[in-house]
A = this chain, B = another copy of it.
Amino acid sequence: MVTKEALNEFLSTQFKQSRCTVEEINAERAVIRYRITEADLRPGGTVSGPVMFLVADCALYVAILGRIGIVPLAVTTNMNINFLRKPAADRDIIGECRLIKLGKLLAIGEVLVYSDGQEEPVAHATGTYAIPPKRD
């Protein structure tokens, strides 16, 4: 497994504007935190849908890189997301990813998205990444 520290180092240098940090990475799952700012909020005091999508996408990316090593060229090919409840405006967004399949060319995982500290998820996503072939 790639360490949490190595993944955070990678995210911060590659995605300077990213506010995602890895909280946990192991064979079972990846957990990331997204720090909410004013710019992420929608009228009515809720977090926008694209932010929840971003968290789901990032959690899946981290889960895959944790298993196969840091491969910057992995790209999302499909993401299906269901929005379940209104997220809280004053809490970070947490994404928890479990991989369903890790193949040679495609990896598939599911992500539960939460408002930090709340029990019920605000969104559920299933996504696919294409993994670039190894160059020897």
Q: What is the number of residues of chain A that contact chain B, defined by CB distance less than 8 Å?
A: 37
The interface residues of chain B lying within 8 Å CB-to-CB of A126 are: 80, 82, 110, 124, 126
Identical chains bound together, number: 4
The interface residues of chain B lying within 8 Å CB-to-CB of A84 are: 100-101, 108
Which residue from B15, B50, B76, B106 sits with its C-beta under 8 Å from A77? Answer: B106
Distance from A28 Cβ to chain B, minimum over Cβ atoms (Å)? 15
Distance from A54 Cβ to chain B, minimum over Cβ atoms (Å)? 4
- A51 to B51, alpha carbons, bound, how many Å? 10
Residues of A within 8 A of B (CB): 14-15, 17, 39, 42-44, 48-51, 53-54, 57, 72, 75-85, 100-101, 105-106, 108, 110, 120-121, 124, 126, 128
